[in-house]
C-alpha cells in the first residue's frame, strides 16, 4: 500500500531491496568479468578467442532480453529476477564443471547461462521506477545503480580470495558465484511491484515496437545507451589482458577493475539529481565527452597509472551516458508499452555489446600480432582498442546533437 503522506513509500522499499540485490547478487558480474578473459585464455586453443566467454555472456543477455521483458510484463518483476538468478547459478555450475574438465565449449555454454542473469540484472534500473513518482524516477534509478558500488568492492575482493583457493585455477570463484545466486534469490521475495494489468478487449495496447523506434527521443536514447555500454565493455574486457600482458600482476588487474567498477557506480549518488536539474540529454553529452577522455588517456601509455585513470574515466562516462539514456527511454513510453520497448532496447544494446566484446579480443590479441604475446604486441593491441572508440562516439554525439537541435515540441 502507498503511504498517503509519502506517495513514494512503496518505491523507496523497492529501491532498498534492489540496492541490496545490486550490491550482493550483482557482485558476480565483476568477478566473472575479471576472470572470464583470463580463464578463456587458458582454455582456448587460440588466444584470439580469449574474450569469447565474455562475448557469450553478453550474447546470452542480448537474446534473453526480449523474452525476459515479456516474462516480467506478464508475471511480474519478481518472477523475472528469480529466473535470472537461476540462470546465473546454472551458468556458474557449468563453468565450474568446464574448468575441472578443461572444456572450452562447455565454458562457453556456462557463459551463455550467465547471460540470462545479466539480462535480468539490466532490468533492476527499470524496476526501480515502476512504483516511483515522476519526480522520484531519476533518483530511484540512480540509487539502484549506486548499489553497484558495494559489488565493485565485494566482487573483485572475492575474486582475489577464491581464484586460487582450489587446485583448479578460478574454480573457487565459480563455486562462490553459485552460492551468491542461491542466497541472493531470497531478496526478491521482498519486492512489492504490482504485475501490470492484463489488457482487456477494447483496451488501447499502445504503440508497436516499430512506431516507438521511429520516435526521435527513443531512438537517440537507444543509440547513446548502446554506444556507452558497448565502448565500456570493449575497453573493460581487454583491460585484464592488457594489464597482465604488460607485466603487471593479476591482483593489480583486479584492482584496476575495482577502480573502474567503483567509478561506474559512485557517481550514481548524484547522477539522478543532475538529471533532474539539467535534463538527461546534457548528462548523456557529458558522459560521451568523458568516454572520449578515457580513450585519450589509454592511448597515452601503458603505465599502471594510465590503466587506472583510463578505466576510472571509462566508468564515469558509462554512468552518465547509460543512466541518462535509460532515463530518456523510461520517460518516453507508457506502462502498456513497457514490455515491448524495454526488451527491444536491451536486445539492441547488448547486441552491440556482444560485438564489442568479440572485437575486444581480436583487437587486443590479434592486431598485427603473430600469435606470440609480448609487451610490444599487447601495447599495439591496447592502442587498437582505444582507437576503435572514436567512430562510435562520433555516432552517438551526432545523434544527440540532432535531437537537441530539434524544436522542443518535436522532442516531446
What average pLDDT score do residues 341-364 get? Answer: 81
Task: Give the pLDDT of residue 78.
Answer: 93
Nearest-angstrom CA–CA distance, 132 and 375:
51
Angle subtended at Cα 392 by Cα 390 and Cα 394, rounded to the nearest 5 degrees: 70
pLDDT of residue 202: 54
Q: Which residue has the higher pLDDT, 328 or 37?
A: 328
Q: How far apart, in whole angstroms, are the C-alpha atoms of residue 222 and residue 329?
A: 7
Q: Where are the domains of the chain?
A: 9-194+209-411
**What pLDDT, on a 0 to 100 scale, did the predictor assign at position 210?**
83
Q: Are 320 and 283 in contact (CB under 8 A)?
A: yes
Confidence of residue 1 (pLDDT cuts 50, 70, 90): very low
- Grid cell at residue 340: 515491448
How confident is the model over 260-274, as a mean pLDDT?
A: 86
Least trusted range by pLDDT, from 202-211, 272-281, 305-314: 202-211
Rg, Å, the chain Cα set: 20
Q: How confident is the model at residue 2 (pLDDT cuts 50, 70, 90)?
A: very low
- Average confidence score pLDDT of the chain: 86
Q: Which fold has domain 9-194+209-411?
A: Growth Hormone; Chain: A; (1.20.1250)
List, for residues 142-199, the tens digit of each pLDDT value: 888 888 788 878 888 888 899 888 888 889 999 999 999 998 889 999 998 888 777 6
pTM value is 0.75
pLDDT band per the 50, 70, 90 thresholds, residue 232 = very high
C-alpha cell at position 236: 573493460
Q: Give the whole-angstrom CA distance, residue 91 versus residue 53.
A: 11
Closest CA to 153 of 243, 262, 236: 262
Amino acid at each position: 500500500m502507498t503511504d498517503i503522506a509519502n506517495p513514494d513509500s512503496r518505491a523507496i522499499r523497492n529501491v532498498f531491496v534492489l540496492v541490496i540485490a545490486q550490491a550482493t547478487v550483482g557482485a558476480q558480474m565483476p568477478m566473472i568479468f575479471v576472470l572470464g578473459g583470463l580463464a578463456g585464455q587458458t582454455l582456448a586453443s587460440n588466444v584470439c578467442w580469449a574474450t569469447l566467454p565474455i562475448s557469450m555472456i553478453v550474447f546470452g543477455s542480448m537474446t534473453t532480453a526480449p523474452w525476459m521483458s515479456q516474462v516480467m510484463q506478464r508475471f511480474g518483476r519478481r518472477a523475472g529476477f528469480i529466473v535470472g538468478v537461476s540462470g546465473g547459478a546454472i551458468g556458474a555450475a557449468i563453468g565450474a564443471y568446464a574448468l575441472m574438465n578443461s572444456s572450452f565449449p562447455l565454458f562457453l555454454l556456462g557463459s551463455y547461462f550467465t547471460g540470462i542473469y545479466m539480462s535480468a540484472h539490466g532490468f533492476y534500473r527499470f524496476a526501480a521506477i515502476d512504483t516511483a513518482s515522476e519526480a522520484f524516477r531519476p533518483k530511484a534509478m540512480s540509487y539502484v545503480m549506486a548499489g553497484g558500488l558495494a559489488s565493485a568492492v565485494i566482487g573483485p575482493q572475492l575474486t582475489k580470495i577464491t581464484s586460487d583457493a582450489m587446485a583448479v585455477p578460478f574454480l573457487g570463484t565459480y563455486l562462490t558465484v553459485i552460492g551468491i545466486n542461491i542466497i541472493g534469490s531470497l531478496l526478491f521475495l521482498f519486492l512489492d511491484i504490482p504485475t501490470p494489468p492484463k489488457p482487456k478487449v477494447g483496451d488501447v495496447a499502445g504503440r508497436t515496437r516499430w512506431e516507438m523506434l521511429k520516435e526521435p527521443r527513443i531512438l537517440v536514447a537507444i543509440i547513446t545507451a548502446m554506444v556507452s555500454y558497448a565502448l565500456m565493455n570493449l575497453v573493460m574486457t581487454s583491460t585484464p589482458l592488457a594489464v597482465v600482458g604488460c607485466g603487471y600482476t593479476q591482483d593489480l588487474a583486479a584492482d584496476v577493475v575495482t577502480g573502474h567498477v567503483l567509478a561506474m557506480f559512485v557517481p550514481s549518488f548524484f547522477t539522478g539529481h543532475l538529471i533532474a536539474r539539467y535534463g538527461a540529454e546534457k548528462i548523456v553529452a557529458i558522459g560521451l565527452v568523458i568516454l572520449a577522455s578515457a580513450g585519450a588517456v589509454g592511448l597515452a601509455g601503458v603505465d599502471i597509472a594510465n590503466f587506472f585513470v583510463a578505466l576510472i574515466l571509462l566508468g564515469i562516462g558509462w554512468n552518465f551516458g547509460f543512466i541518462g539514456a535509460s532515463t530518456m527511454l523510461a520517460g518516453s513510453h507508457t506502462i502498456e508499452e513497457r514490455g515491448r520497448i524495454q526488451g527491444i532496447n536491451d536486445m539492441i544494446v547488448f547486441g552491440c555489446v556482444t560485438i564489442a566484446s568479440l572485437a575486444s579480443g581480436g583487437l587486443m590479441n590479434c592486431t598485427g600480432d603473430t600469435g606470440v604475446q609480448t609487451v610490444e604486441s599487447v601495447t599495439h593491441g591496447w592502442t587498437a582498442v582505444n582507437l576503435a572508440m572514436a567512430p562510435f562516439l562520433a555516432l552517438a554525439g551526432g545523434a544527440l546533437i540532432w535531437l537537441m537541435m530539434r524544436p522542443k515540441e518535436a522532442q516531446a
